[in-house]
Structure formats: C-alpha cells, structure tokens
C-alpha cells in the first residue's frame, strides 16, 4: 500500500513535474517559435517585394523605350515630310519668281513699298535697295526686273502661317521680302535704322551659303535680323541660265513645336533637333547644356554622356540610351530626319519612368506593415491565452495552440507561395484562402492590387497613347481647316451677288474644302472639293491642293479653265506618292453677265435654281471629268451656263448625304435638293439657305454630328 501510495506520489509528482516542465517549455517555445516564424516570413516578404518592384521597373523601362522609340520615329517621319514640303514650297516660289524675271512682258508691273524710304509693317510685302545698288544706279533693266518680280507678293501671304520670312535677294543689291513679326504693327528689320541704310543681301550668311547650293537646302543656325536664332530653307535662282541671287524662307521654332506636339503622347515631352555640325537648331526646354546657340557644338560639351549621344546623332545613328544633363538623368531616343541632314531626339526624366513602380512598392509596404502589426498583436494574445488556460486544460490548450498556429502559419505560407509565383512573372496567379480573418483581407487586397496592376500594364499605355494622339490630331486638323478657309463673303456683293459658305468638320477630319476669290475685277472663282482619306495626311494634301489650284488659276487666267486644270492636275500628280486624289468642282463667273465657265472633276453635280422656271436641277451636261492628282496628262472639259438674275448655285460635298438615321434611312441628293428649293422659294439669303439645308439633314438623321466633313457654298444673283 505504501509502495502504491509512493508510486502514486511519484507518478503524480512526475506528472506534475512533467506538466510543469511541459508548461514552461511550451510557454517558452510558443513565443520563440512564433517570433522565429515571424522573422522568416518577414525576410521572405522583403525578397518578394524586391522581386515585384524590380519586375515592375523593368517592365516600365521596356514600355517607355518602346513608346519613346515609336513616337520618335513617327515625329522624325512627320518632320521629314514637313521639311520636304518646305523644300517644295521654296522650289515653287523660286520657279515662279524666275518666270516673272525671264518673261516680264507677260506680267503687269507691280510697285511695292520700299523699306529704304517707308515704314513697312509686319506681313506687308516690300522691296529694299542697298546703298551699293543706289551708287551703281537703277538702270531701266533692273527697274523692269524689280516691278515684274514684285508680283511674287501675291503668293507670299499664303505662306505667312508657316514661315517667319519669305525673301528674295538679288546679286545686284535689291531685296523683295515679307516678314511676320511678333506684333502686327511692328516694323520689319530693314525698315528701321541703321539696318535700312546698311543692309545688303549679299553680305548675309544665308546668301553666302546659298550661292554654293545646288537646289534647295537648309542652313545652319544663324542670327536673323530680328535677333532670333533662325534656320532657313534657301535656294539659288538662275535667270536665263545665269546666277541671279538667293531666295528662301525662315522656319519658325513655334511651328516645329506644334508639329511635334501633334503626335507626342505627353505635351510635356522634351525634345531637341541637332544639325550635322552638332549645333542645336530647335529645343523646347530650358538648359544651359542644350540650347540654340550660334556656333556651339554640343559634342564638345562638358556633359560627357550628352557629348557621346551628340556624336551618334551626327553620325545618323538611331537608338535608345541614358544621358545626364545638369545632374539629372534622362532616357533619350534619337533618330535621323530624312530629307535634311539633321537628327531628332526626345527625352523623359528617369524618375518619371519609375514613378509607377515606386507607387506600387509604397502601396505594398503599407499592406505589409499593416499585416505585421496585426500579426504581432495576434502572437501576444496567443502567448497570454496559453499561459492562463494551459493550467486548466493542458491537452485542449496544446491542441488549440497547434491548431491556432496552423491556422496562422498555413495561410501565410500559401500567401507567400502565391505571391512568389506572381513575382516570378505569372501575372494571372491569385491567392485562394478559406480563412475569414485579417490574412484573408490581405489576400483580397493583394488580389485586387494584382488585377489592377495587370489591367493597367496591359491597357493604360496603349489606350492613353491612342486617345491623346487622336485627340491632338483631330483638334489640330479641325483648327487648321477652319482657319484656312476664306470668310470675306462680301467681295461680290457690289456686283449683285449674295455669297456664303461654311465648313462643318467631323470628329475624324477629312479633306473637304471650299474656296472663293476674285480672279480679276470682273470675275469671281468659286470651288468646292473633297480629298481622299482621313486625318492629317488628307488635311495637308487638301491645303496644298487648294493653294495650287488658286495659284495656277491666277497665273493662267489667259487660258481656258480646262487647260488650267490640266496643268494643276499634272502638278498635283507629280509628287503624289501616296496616291491621294481630289474631287473638285470649280467655276469662273463673269459678274457683269452671270455667265459661268466650269469644270467638274469627279465631284457631285451642283444644284442650280432657275428663277425663270421657278425650279431647280442638278448641273449635269455630259460626262463628268476624271478626279484629279491620281493620273497625269488628263484632259478637262470647260462647260458653261448662265446665272440670270434670281438664279442660285448651291455646292456641297458628300458628307451631308452619306450618313443614315437611326432607322437606317439615308438623307440623299433628292432630299437635299428639296430642302434647298424650299429655302430658295422662301427668298432666304445664301447664309440662311446653307444653315437651313444643314439643319434639315441634322433633323433627319437625328444627331448633330456627321462621320465625314461637310462643306457647303451658296451663290445667288440678286
């Protein structure tokens, strides 16, 4: 019995000691185990966070390199095209000026203000005599030459929106030019002292460089008379095979900046243009290292990385690299500009590229800190609970602690495993847990962040770039189209004609246009046309076509309208590498009699109202001629009709008859003619007829926007 009692005591003591030792061991091992596990998880989380951040930074860098490279190539191609068009403008002006000088008997003598004696303001064509010319004497031949060449003033205003100066400098010492100053009332440089007494074109840098050119070419940067740093497109010109002088245009940095902004995704993008001598020609940001400075070659810059990039640009290389400017790091993409011996570069600060990945890292750090704060609280609670309840229910508490530990650790391990899979590149990986605690909230936060990151990576760059580019292109094109069309509707009013026209641009701009101008004091030219295609190319081709048509009609007024269009077509076809075309209706009206000669080159037939018959009809008398610019050497037939008192001519483009209503019904030519006839019979003005016909089309299709541009023109003989 005693042995049994002793054994029980020993067993009890042993059990008690074992229990105490177990309690002490568990009480010590539980927090130690938890904190060791906590440190391991934290270490693994730091590694995972670093992997995610690195992958985000690498992806952002690849996307920015792709964006900058593609954007840079697009801008370089646009600039190449624009510089080619500038060369063509200079060639056209040069050839026209030479024609005036070689055949002065064909043109009326023209007298322009002489800046040597008069105050000449901005956008006013003028002539200037150098002191050298005055000392030699103005012989009759030079006077005849100057009066004939002054006819170029009719063309100069057409280029005032694009060039700061159009100039012709003769070897004999006279200058014919037009300046666009910053203010309309500013005097041109040669109309101010002492320049008006000292200026001689042959002493200018552009003249000295231009004498050695063959055809058109662009100068290096030089200081213009206005004091601005300027680049010019110039060409020597020859009269009867002999060198006679140098002419050209000054390129505007503001115009170059607008071209770049029309394509650039971000209006704050930085760029500069470098010449073949390493000189900065254009730049849109302030920097001591990169600025337009006469004779400064940035290949010799103290910024070594910038000097290395400049070497590559001068060598006509293209690429993507990093550069440091005034202690700030940039990514730079550069490529050569075709048609000129220059190179274009665009830059973006490195910090802007990595900003999204830094934002992701900060967000994940906030999530991690929140999680560990909750985890620490849970561990403390577990330790306290274990110490209190293990004395009463050791086995239950032991099982409970193990289960609680598993409930905490297993979701964390699963979360860590799935996050690592995501960090390794599996962007479709998501965390799946069955728990309903703080860890589940962390998992849901991570899943939401991962989905947003994946969606943003896939869509944000592409959607933003496309939208900004399209918005910029449409806004620029619409603004150009509206400002480029004439608006002096009263020019034929004194002859008893009521004229009005209007352009309704669509969201996706095309190439519709109208034009009207006096051919001479007794003849009015009206025209309407539609260029193929959409967007900036069609708008540019439209403006070129409109300018060429007007210029050739005025210079070929002695030939028939059909012969003039034959020449215009050949000129438009000559450089039409993109196979664009123009559908055109043009008429010349003798204002005293109402007789109109016209040519329809593939355009919709106009609607003509006859007051005598009190009705109208479409002007179709024979086959319509071919569209213009697509093929060369095409004949155009001149036809005629008479607009008697009370008659009306209504011109339109296909945009007003191409859309359908919500019911699928089309507003066709018959409906348009009925609306115009109704308005005419109500004795409305030309402006009211245009507005009424457009409003009728809008009411029919049930919306106030069309998928294509609309151009309308109405002319009534009172």
Least confident among 262-266, 354-358, 540-544, 547-551: 262-266
425-449 pLDDT tens trace: 676 767 776 666 667 777 777 777 7
Q: What is the pLDDT of residue 3?
A: 44
Give the 3-state secondary structure of residue 533: coil
Q: What is the pLDDT of residue 590?
A: 95
CA–CA dist 262, 535 (Å, integer): 12
List CB contacts of 410: < 8 A, sequence separation 6 or more.
none
Q: What is the pLDDT of residue 517?
A: 94
Residue 208 — pLDDT band, cuts 50, 70, 90? Answer: very high
The structure tokens 């019979």 sit at: 681
Least confident among 1-15, 43-57, 187-201: 1-15
How many helices and strands (H and E) does the chain possess?
Answer: 14, 22
Per DSSP, what are the bridge partners of residue 499? 715
Q: What is the pLDDT of residue 12?
A: 54
Same domain, 316 and 387: no
User: Per-residue b/e over 123-153, b at no fewer than 16 CB within 10 Å?
Assistant: ebbbbbbbeebeeeeeeeebeebbbbbbbbb
DSSP annotation of 624 reads: P
Give the 3-state secondary structure of residue 186: coil
Cα–chain center distance at 418: 44
- Residue 473 inside a domain? The answer is no
CA–CA dist 291, 687 (Å, integer): 51
Burial of 515 (0-12, 13-18, 19+ CB in 10 A): buried
Q: What is the pLDDT of residue 286?
A: 74
Report residue 710: phi and psi, to 5°: -130, 130
CA–CA dist 283, 304 (Å, integer): 19
CA–CA dist 331, 316 (Å, integer): 19
Same domain, 32 and 124: no
Contact status, residue 499 vs residue 491, Cβ threshold 8 Å: yes
Q: What is the pLDDT of residue 129?
A: 96
CA–CA dist 616, 623 (Å, integer): 20
- What number is the average pLDDT over the span 608-628? 90
List the alpha helices (DSSP H) in 315-393. 350-389
End-to-end CA distance of the chain: 142
Average pLDDT across the chain, whole number: 83
Contact status, residue 232 vs residue 264, Cβ threshold 8 Å: no
Angle of CA points 363, 365, 371, to nearest 5°: 110
Q: What is the pLDDT of residue 614?
A: 92
- What number is the average pLDDT over the span 548-570? 92
Taking alpha carbons only, the member of 641, 648, 645 closest to residue 682 is: 648
Same domain, 597 and 501: yes
CA–CA dist 309, 303 (Å, integer): 10
Same domain, 171 and 220: yes
Same domain, 564 and 688: yes
- Residue 186 inside a domain? The answer is yes
Residue 204 — pLDDT band, cuts 50, 70, 90? Answer: very high
Please count the structural domains in the chain: 4
Angle 2-102/140-149 helices, nearest 10 degrees? Answer: 140
Q: What is the pLDDT of residue 68?
A: 78
More confident of the two residues 336 and 265: 336
Residue 11 — pLDDT band, cuts 50, 70, 90? Answer: very low
For 560, how many CA atoms within 13 A lie in the half-sphere containing its CB? 12
Angle of CA points 478, 481, 486, to nearest 5°: 145
Neighbours of 195 (CB within 10 A): 14
CA–CA dist 408, 440 (Å, integer): 11
| CATH number, domain containing residue 515 | 3.60.40.10
Same domain, 493 and 567: yes
- Residue 674 inside a domain? The answer is no
496-511 pLDDT tens trace: 999 999 998 876 666 7
Is the predicted pLDDT of residue 180 greater than 80, yes or no? yes
Whole-model pTM?
0.44
Same domain, 309 and 378: no
Q: What is the pLDDT of residue 442?
A: 79
Same domain, 639 and 570: yes
Residue 19 — pLDDT band, cuts 50, 70, 90? Answer: low
CA–CA dist 699, 687 (Å, integer): 18
List CB contacts of 107: < 8 A, sequence separation 6 or more.
100, 148, 151
Is the predicted pLDDT of residue 365 greater than 50, yes or no? yes
Taking alpha carbons only, the member of 329, 334, 293 closest to residue 311 is: 334
Is the predicted pLDDT of residue 538 greater than 60, yes or no? yes
Q: What is the pLDDT of residue 656?
A: 92
- Boundary (domain end) residue, out of 175, 206, 241: 241
- Residue 609 inside a domain? The answer is yes
Q: What is the pLDDT of residue 536?
A: 77
- What number is the average pLDDT over the span 315-335? 89
More confident of the two residues 468 and 265: 468
- Residue 340 inside a domain? The answer is yes
Is the predicted pLDDT of residue 516 greater than 50, yes or no? yes
- Residue 677 inside a domain? The answer is no
Cα–chain center distance at 557: 38
- Residue 678 inside a domain? The answer is no
Angle of CA points 522, 526, 532, to nearest 5°: 155
Same domain, 57 and 197: no
Same domain, 235 and 263: no
CA–CA dist 181, 164 (Å, integer): 7
List CB contacts of 619: < 8 A, sequence separation 6 or more.
598, 600, 605, 606, 607, 608, 641
- Residue 373 inside a domain? The answer is yes
- What number is the average pLDDT over the span 116-122? 93
- Boundary (domain end) residue, out of 208, 241, 274: 241
Contact status, residue 461 vs residue 490, Cβ threshold 8 Å: no
Task: Provide the residue range defining the domain that includes 272.
Answer: 255-352
Residue 1 — pLDDT band, cuts 50, 70, 90? Answer: very low
- What number is the average pLDDT over the span 322-337? 89
Same domain, 367 and 289: no
Q: What is the DSSP string of 451-485?
A: HHHHHHHHHHHHHHHHHHHHHHHHHHHHHHHHHHS
- Boundary (domain end) residue, out of 312, 332, 352: 352
CA–CA dist 584, 149 (Å, integer): 31
Same domain, 323 and 389: no
96-109 pLDDT tens trace: 999 999 999 999 99
| CATH number, domain containing residue 302 | 3.30.450.20
């Amino acid at each position: 019995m005693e042995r049994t009692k002793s054994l029980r005591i020993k067993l009890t003591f042993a059990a008690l000691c074992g229990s105490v030792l177990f309690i002490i061991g568990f009480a010590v091992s539980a927090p130690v185990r938890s904190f060791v596990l906590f440190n391991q998880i934290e270490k693994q989380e730091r590694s995972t966070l670093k992997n995610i951040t690195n992958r985000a930074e690498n992806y952002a860098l690849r996307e920015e390199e792709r964006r900058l490279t593609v954007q840079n190539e697009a801008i370089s191609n646009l600039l190449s095209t624009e510089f080619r068009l500038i060369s063509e403008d200079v060639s056209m002006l040069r050839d026209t000026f030479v024609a005036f000088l070689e055949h002065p008997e064909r043109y009326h003598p023209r007298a322009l203000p002489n800046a040597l004696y008069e105050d000449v303001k901005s956008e006013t064509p003028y002539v200037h005599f150098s002191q050298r010319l005055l000392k030699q004497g103005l012989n009759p031949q030079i006077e005849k030459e100057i009066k004939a060449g002054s006819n170029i003033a009719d063309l100069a205003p057409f280029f005032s929106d694009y060039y700061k100066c159009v100039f012709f400098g003769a070897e004999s010492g006279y200058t014919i030019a037009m300046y666009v100053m910053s203010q309309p009332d500013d005097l041109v440089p040669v109309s101010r002292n002492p320049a008006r007494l000292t200026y001689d074109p042959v002493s200018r840098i552009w003249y000295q460089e231009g004498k050695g050119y063959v055809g058109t070419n662009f100068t290096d940067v030089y200081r213009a008379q206005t004091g601005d740093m300027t680049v010019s497109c110039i060409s020597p010109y020859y009269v009867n095979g002999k060198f006679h002088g140098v002419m050209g245009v000054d390129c505007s940095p503001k115009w170059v900046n607008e071209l770049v902004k029309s394509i650039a995704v971000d209006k704050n993008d930085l760029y500069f243009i470098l010449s073949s001598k390493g000189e900065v020609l254009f730049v849109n940001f302030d920097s001591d290292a990169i600025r337009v400075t006469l004779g400064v070659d940035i290949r010799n810059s103290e910024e070594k990385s910038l000097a290395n990039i400049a070497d590559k640009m001068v060598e006509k290389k293209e690429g993507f690299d990093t550069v440091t400017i005034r202690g700030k790091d940039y990514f730079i993409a550069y490529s050569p500009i075709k048609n000129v011996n220059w190179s274009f570069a665009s830059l973006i600060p490195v910090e802007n590229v990595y900003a999204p990945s830094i934002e992701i890292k900060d967000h994940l750090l906030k999530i991690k800190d929140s999680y560990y704060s909750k985890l620490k609280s849970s561990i403390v609670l577990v330790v306290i609970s274990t110490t209190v309840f293990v004395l009463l229910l050791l086995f239950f508490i032991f099982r409970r602690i193990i289960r609680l530990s598993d409930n905490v650790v297993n979701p964390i391990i699963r979360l860590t495993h799935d996050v690592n899979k995501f960090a390794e590149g599996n962007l479709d990986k998501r965390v799946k847990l069955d728990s309903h605690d703080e860890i589940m909230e962390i998992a849901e936060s991570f899943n939401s962040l991962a989905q947003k990151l994946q969606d943003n990576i896939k869509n944000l760059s592409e959607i933003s770039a496309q939208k900004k580019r399209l918005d910029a292109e449409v806004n620029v094109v619409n603004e150009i189209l509206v400002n480029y069309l004439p608006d002096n509707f009263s020019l034929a009013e004194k002859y008893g004609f009521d004229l009005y026209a209007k352009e309704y641009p669509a969201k996706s701009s095309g190439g519709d246009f109208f034009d009207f101008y006096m051919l001479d004091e007794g003849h009015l030219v009206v025209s309407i046309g539609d260029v193929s295609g959409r967007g900036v190319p069609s708008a540019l081709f439209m403006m070129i076509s409109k300018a060429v048509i007007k210029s050739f009609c005025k210079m070929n007024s002695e030939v028939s309208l059909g012969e003039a269009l034959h020449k215009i077509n050949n000129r438009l076809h000559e450089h039409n590498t993109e196979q664009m075309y123009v559908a055109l209706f043009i008429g010349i009206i003798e204002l005293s009699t109402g007789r109109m000669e016209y040519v329809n080159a593939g355009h919709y037939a106009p609607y003509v109202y006859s007051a005598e018959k009190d009705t109208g009809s479409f002007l179709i008398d024979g086959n319509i001629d071919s569209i213009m610019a697509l093929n060369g050497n095409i004949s155009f037939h001149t036809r005629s009709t008479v607009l008697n008192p009370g008659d009306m001519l209504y011109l339109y483009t296909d945009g007003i008859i191409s859309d359908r209503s919500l019911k699928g019904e089309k507003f066709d030519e018959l409906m348009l003619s009925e609306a115009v006839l109704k308005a005419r019979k109500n004795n409305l003005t030309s402006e009211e007829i245009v507005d009424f016909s457009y409003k009728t089309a809008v009411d029919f299709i049930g919306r106030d926007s069309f998928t294509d541009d609309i151009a309308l023109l109405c002319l009534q003989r009172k």
